Structure 1
Amino acid sequence: MTCLLCNLNEADETGSHIIPHSVLESMFNEGGKGRDKEQNFQLGGGGSTAYFGRSVLPEKVEQTIGRSLTDEEIDSEPNPYVADYIFCKPCEKKLSFFESLYKQKVANRLASGQALSPQQVRIAHFFWLSVIYRCAVTSFNHFRVDVALRSELHVVVNAILADSEAAIERNCLTHPVAENLFIGYYKAGKDSGRNPVFLHLEKQNPYLLFINQYVLALNYQLPQVAALESELRVSLGVSAEGTTIKVFKDQERNLLLAYCWALAARYLVQEFKDNFARSYFHLHKKPPRPLLVEAFIMELTGAKVLDTVKYSIQRIEQLTRKYIRAT
């Protein structure tokens, strides 16, 4: 396979981060103390999965999923933000330089409440384009952008990446900005584990992404901003096209998280319904009655237990077997 960045070299690197660890670290339950200490809980239509770094203590695992991990789970459960053989080693090295530059010049200043200079805003602009491109080119969580934009991002990212932080910074400051990108940031808060990674699959004008402490809106136009603000119930502070960075207040963060989780829950319930209907049809050769589907969803979602237990693959399979036989 050819590298998804340069399209020249063989994709021979392993352990490549689709979304950089430094962007996600405050979201992990271990308090962002470094790699191998991640606790990452994922919900999908097939059920819940959890990824734990190798240095997470067994008692922490039990607190999260209500049980110990099996040896098979320890050996096989992949980190959802990491993939093998998507980039070549030279491109991976360039990405590491870019991530280090962003952390020093932008992320650390945002975390400490310092204002960004216009030069630092440009670094943030191109850094996030590189992350969005990585999500799109790998179809991370089924996220895609249209072909023309994907091609444009590919050209931009390759024009920015270089063999040193200094060279990448120079490229950021000199390369023309053609994409409109809103970047919103909120501080981690005491409940950083609630911060989502949620890429809105229905929105394209603009594309909308929630990535831990960031909200991104790519390719917006000013008339679209008012509608987006009304939907999110927060002001984005966009007064001109280009790149805008806003630091959200705690109240705004709560509204954004409420919007994101409500939307994610709607997606999730629909996936549960679709999967149940497929299982039912496979057995009975006809669709299930709507009341049966609703009864299945009520029992699945109504239990007052940990989500990691409530939505476990085993529990979903058990309830599916129960209800598809309830004709």
Structure 2
Amino acid sequence: MIELDRLRRMGLFALVVRHGSFSAASRAQDLATSVLSSAVSQLEEELGVRLLHRTTRSLSLTEAGQLFHEKCVEMLAAAEMAQELVADGSHAISGRLRISAASDVAHKIVLPALMPLARQHPKLLLDIQVDDHIVDMATQSIDLSIRSGWMRDSSLVARKLADLHEVLVASPDYLQRYGMPDSPETLRKHRIVGFKRFSEPTTLVFKNDTGQSVRVAMAPGAMTDNVYMLHELTVQGLGIARMPSYLTQDAVNSGALVRLLTDWRLPGAGIYAVTLKRTLQPPKVTAAIDALSAYLQVL
């Protein structure tokens, strides 16, 4: 049986990684830096491997440290779940729920979907991390990540919540200057606002109802890696853009943007709820996924 003191050292190691440094973990946990450093050093001695690369400015996990850290995070998550299950009953929706989402998804989907849940369960604390880049869920102790598309990762579990419909839009000013495209082929004479998080920011692939597929490469009018900047550059008339329909609806309704080539479809992705692999998800995570799924069905 593993020593209880070693379990404590494993927990402290995971907290050091979560906070990114010994000093930050020291402040967050109100423990001396020397206590944390000693705990990690003792773990490394007991295991016979180095867990962290230490420099004067940063920490990073070694390969062995990465594997060990995943299990330490699972241990902490299990302890937190046990505490939550007995605190207010086995089905209580309470405790801190750490969620990661890109800026557009956080504002347009996560916040409106989960606000009713938070109001209904005042002991549930929403901790929403807005990040346009994929986060390391284990290192940052994220309970739930909402993503568009899917990254293959054997340590994660993804549940598809809804299809992500994409549309092609441009501003009236742009269309007045460059003309209205009437087919995918005519887009070759147009400019695109390229979204750099796509694998091919300036290329579009279309299909119509007959199954015909057309691939079009366009000249860039502007480039960005932020979806809200993509929206604004398009409204300002710097080019045509491919965006999720939920992000364009208000601008289309107001006349600030115009949908193009509505007889053709862009290859939509999906919205996924991503969690770490666990035998049992905490009630707060399950409730959040259900709330998000229900919201997306009527979005």
- TM norm structure 1: 0.22
Q: Larger Rg: 1 or 2?
A: 2
- TM norm structure 2: 0.24
More strand by percentage: 2
More helix by percentage: 1
